[in-house]
Amino acid sequence: MLRKLLFLSLSTLFLLGNVDQVVGQDAEEPIWETILLVPDNTKLKVLGENMKKHNQKYHKEGPYSASVYNITTGPDTGKMVWIMGPLKYSHLDARPAAGGHDEDWRDNIMPYIKKTQQGEYWEGDVELSNTAMTAGDPSAFPILFTRYWEINPGKGFGVERHFKMVSETIKAMEGEHPWGIYFNEFQQGNIGRHIATVSFHKSWTDFEKPWKFRESFDKVHGASAWNAFTRNREATFENVWDEIWVYNKELSGD
């Protein structure tokens, strides 16, 4: 995580000149590959049938297992997110390609996709995340509250403090509150998708339940720490926005 935060704190320097990119991976941290797909809405039936066959043939299990989510809120509503992992970079050297994989994607998926966007690699932070109860089963918590965080130029030093306090607060809350934090592995220019946090939900009814974050925060950190916490958040992040993703089991390989 410290490597990632150093990289983020230096993110503004690439605007002034070349900076050697830091792409090494912490040994214990998992990686996910994600691709945003814009479907041809006139061909959704065929796309769905072909995507299901492709994923269940080539992305059924292990590091190459794939999940598909439908984005249901925000400016990307109607798009799909294709996710592969968790994996290590070394797995990519042996990813499905031969044996008809690439031809199947080219001939049976791409003709029904208007375009692909945001091909990204996300590193999960095992220490801060609280995802053990999901057991890696997307169907157990099929609704994801995904929040993107854009770091203010030169303010990466505030990231660790903020999310450490968030993590400690969520872990102290009563009940099950699976939550994960993921760092974008590569520079995004002005796109701003530096960090994603995800709350995992069993149903839409979860959103009707009170979110007792502040109550838990005061117990863990003390009520007097709240103002400093919010000031650090406001200084560290330039932009924050939310999306809801819904797991599409029919199109997934897992």
- Per-residue pLDDT of 11-39, as tens digits, reads 433 333 333 333 344 447 999 999 999 99
Domain carrying residue 176: 2-251
CATH number of the CATH domain containing 21: 3.30.70.100
Q: Domain count for the chain, please give it.
A: 1
What is the pTM for the complete model shown? 0.88
pLDDT tens, residue by residue, 239-249: 999 999 999 99
Q: Looking at 20-141, which runs of residues are DSSP E strands?
A: 31-39, 66-71, 80-87, 113-124
